[in-house]
Chains A and B, each alone.
Chain A
Amino acid sequence: MDSSGSPSDPGQLTISAKIVVAGGFGVGKTTLVGSVSEIPPINTEAWMTEASEGVDDLPPNGTKTTTTVAMDFGRISLYPDLMLYLFGTPGQPRFWFLWDDLSRGALGAIVLVDTSRLDQSFAAINYFENDSELPFVVAVNLFDGELTHDLDEVRDALALRPEIPLITCDARRPASAVTALQELVSYTLSLAEVSDSGRVRAHA
């Protein structure tokens, strides 16, 4: 759709791609985006109006649902004609519909997990397992540089399907964060090989 009306030589145009970084509060999404982005992560409140479209179950009183949706994004210029954007999902469960918007057209998602607070990321894993066709990998964030739980235990605890890649990553270290991005893109490529009929991304 967005390619319609391209000029005859689209090779001259810079194209963009997107990877979604998901997970609950405090699992290191912003850290990961910041460690690989060439610009400081942009935190925007510009999502507010869109948010109002989907929020029809506002709490009757009290909690403000219309303030900041924490949504960070960063950018990596891979080539002069190819930009990669990283979008951290808002952690609040009530902004799930924004996840749909963010996920649309993405190469895939990295779900960050903190092993000391696994439950923080259950919702994100659920979303990508059940409500999205996006390829995703789960990355255990090594906050102290060490893996405190065996990856098999983590997989069990998350009830993660065997085919979903489970990796480790230190979100603070650019090299490690980039490796996680590579793992995701490799996984997306492998799925594309299995099914080159476009099933990989049903959000088209």
Chain B
Amino acid sequence: MSQDAGRGQAVKKPRSKRIRPYTLTGGRTRGRHQLLVETLISVPRYDPALSDKLMPESKALYEHARSQASIAELSSLLSIPLGVVRVLVSDLAAQGAIFIHPTAHAYHHDRHVLERILNGLKRLPV
């Protein structure tokens, strides 16, 4: 599966001419966490020493997450394929370097969240 993904990637415009994206993830295409495209991540305690030790893609994710960002935004902003972002973010979370925020979906038994979203839409200045 991951090999197929790697081959497919070779014919596309990769993020770098020299490295196939899933090389960065050790061939893994899935991380341990369910990361939705809208899932927000942030850095609870920024550690410059840790940042220096990270490989460039993870470092870029770590730095951008200092000001909280979604998986999709990070992917787009850093031009790292979504699947790769998911695996790298998952690794950073496993090290405790970043925090994965819950999404509204985590509260889908809680109508309070839906009501809050509805009220938020109603008070938008449009």
Contact = CB atoms under 8 A, between A and B. Distances in A.
A15 B114 contact: no
B35 A14 contact: no
B102 interface: yes
Interface residues of A, number: 59
B110 to A, nearest CB: 9
Interface centre among B35, B42, B114 (most CB of A within 10 A): B114
A178 interface: yes
Interface residues of B, number: 56
A189 B83 contact: no
Interface stretch (B47-55, B56-64, B115-123): B115-123
Interface of A is mostly: mixed
B76 A42 contact: yes
B88 interface: no
A16 B38 contact: yes
Interface stretch (A49-57, A141-149, A157-165): A49-57
Interface of B: 1, 4-5, 8-9, 11-13, 21-22, 29, 33-40, 42, 68, 70, 72-73, 75-76, 79-85, 99-109, 111, 113-118, 120-122, 124, 126
